Amino acid sequence: YNGIDIFSDKIYSRTGKRIYNNIKNKYTENKNFRSASNKFLKNFEDILKNHQKENDESEINSILDSTSGILYLLISHAIGKLD
């Protein structure tokens, strides 16, 4: 968004930063973790797309606010998908 990094690793608590770094490193170094992460991200995106087709904004918000949604955003950010 116009050169502004809205997803910065500075938004995380100390524990969150450690988890972020662990995900980032594990994704790079561990093929099985990378494969499982990619599968999770794709499945989550498919769920969102299905609800977008139905124009179900409240359900999309609920999904993004869920534990799975938070994990989706954390993994996506850690692997550079949101850059």
Among 42, 20, 12, 24, residue whose Cα is nearest residue 79: 24
Task: Please report the beta strands in 1-83, taking only residues with DSSP state E, as ranges in sequence order.
Answer: none
Model-level pTM? 0.79
Q: What SS3 class is residue 30?
A: coil
Tens-digit pLDDT profile for residues 37-82: 999 999 999 999 988 888 878 888 899 999 999 999 999 999 999 8
Q: What is the mean pLDDT of residues 10-36?
A: 90
CA–chain centroid gap for 36, Å, is 13
Handedness of CA 70, 48, 28, 1 (dihedral sign): negative
